Structure 1
Amino acid sequence: MADFDLIQFDLDGTLIDSVPQLQLAVNQMLAQLGHAPAAEPAVRHWVGNGADMLVRRALTAALGAEPDAGAQQAARAAFDAAYDKVADQGLVFYPGVLDTLAALRRAGKRLAIVTNKPYRFVPAILAASGLSEQFELVLGGDSLPEKKPSPAPLLHVCRTLDMDPARTLMVGDSENDVLAAQAAGMAVVGLTYGYNYGRDIADSGPDWVLSDFAALADLLLTD
């Protein structure tokens, strides 16, 4: 059994599959700007570095070139307005997420979320999913000056909750999660099913690679 007191989780691609909502928002943005819609596999490949990068990747694909600052700003505003309306609708959890989080809490583990999603969207998602009370601290990609792959958000959580990074586990689905955890001196689980830009999460060198969220219970709670 791996013994940790605090577990920090990514959100998109780790706890929830948010691509359906993100695709709706991206395509509303593209339509507003006069572009054709993007297919689901493309949006799934673009997710993982925060909203600015998602919008930039969508615009670059639509334009065939990098957007200028004005186009990026207008597109981001259109995306935010669209995503506000759908972010907490029809949420899809990966198998085992709800039961495993509840089991970790019952075992006395402290839980936090560190996501690169803008914070403004996160509380409604957690409320709609009934998870607001599960996490002691939630950080979005704009909660601090730096986001993952910087270790700063992960270390901020440890300082705020007075926890030792060496007793903390990060759980995520992308290279950003692994790099942030490694730089913070934390162990890290890499999940195979999320958004990692088409690359194998094992290539980033996490301490454990899991294909099933429920396997966290075996890792953390089995004597």
Structure 2
Amino acid sequence: MNLLLDLDGTLTDPREGITRCIQHALERLGRPVPAQDELLGCIGPPLHASFEELLDGDGTLAHRAVAFYRERFGEVGLYENVPYPGIADALETLQQRGARLFVATSKPTIYARRIISHFGLEGRLEDVFGSELDGTRTNKVELLAWILERTALDPRCTLMVGDRRHDIAGAIANGVEPIGVTWGYGGHRELLDAGAARLIDRPSQLAALGLSAVGSPRLYKPAAFGDTETQ
């Protein structure tokens, strides 16, 4: 079985880093700064889209906000993050059972790789795929299509595991089975309404996903982990 794993809200809890960096960006723009709890809905969707919503649809201002966000996130915010309890063990079990594990995140690859390395998870993952800093592949439909083409994974033997409707939509559009996790930021109703085939409620249940089928042949050869060619 091949598993495409979302990062924020699925493998790690980025609440502190993301919400504080959004607050930083809004403060730099001279805009009202919501409390952290009011910004939880921004965890998961593409960042530019979240800022557009916060800034009354002003795309130009949202672009500036993303730049201000990154000036804090790249130094501090990406480390204000923690793996969910049980995630490392679940990934190890899946790996031992022969599952092929990849990260599929709308976060820029350069940040996603640093987060994965910071928490020592790189040895449990075959590769990490994300967006470009210019916003390319922040849409999960586009991202998953690109991953499947790049890796030659068989969609029929592949699961997408994530906590938001964007993960589910990306999976369905690409013929991949969508699995929702309820410990993140979407919740049961959002995931079911989006079309999740199954929901799992704790990281330990991830290990059972590796029992369904064998993965695709290993035709894909990833670059050395930490290679920043794809950012």
**Shorter-chain TM-score range:** 0.7 to 0.9
In the alignment, what sits opposite 2:88? Answer: 98
- Please say if 1:66 is aligned against 2:57: yes
Encode CA deviations 1:35-90: one digit per residue, 9 max, x unaligned.
Answer: 343212221112222221232233x2xxxx33351x22322211111111223324
- Please say if 1:34 is aligned against 2:30: yes
Structure 2 spans left out of the alignment, 5+ residues: 214-231
In the alignment, what sits opposite 2:48? Answer: 52
Amino acid at match of 1:116: S
In the alignment, what sits opposite 1:112? Answer: 102
Question: 1:86 aligned to 76, 95, 117, which one?
Answer: 76
In the alignment, what sits opposite 1:22? Answer: 18
Amino acid at match of 1:35: R
Structure 2 distance, partners of 1:197, 1:68, is 28
Structure 1 distance, partners of 2:148, 2:32, is 44
Does the CA-based 8 Å contact 1:46-1:54 persist in structure 2? yes
CA shift in 2, pair 1:197/1:45, >3 Å:
farther
CA shift in 2, pair 1:124/1:7, >3 Å:
same
Normalised by the length of structure 1, the TM-score is 0.85
Structure 1 distance, partners of 2:62, 2:89, is 40
Structure 2 distance, partners of 1:198, 1:210, is 10
CA shift in 2, pair 1:94/1:170, >3 Å:
same
CA RMSD of aligned residues (A): 2.4
Question: 1:43 aligned to 39, 42, 47, which one?
Answer: 39
- The percentage of counterpart residues that share the same residue type is 27
Give 1:119-198 correspondences, 5 Å limit: 119-142=109-132, 145-150=136-141, 152-196=142-186
Amino acid at match of 2:151: L
CA shift in 2, pair 1:75/1:88, >3 Å:
closer
Name the count of aligned residue pairs.
212
CA shift in 2, pair 1:18/1:191, >3 Å:
same
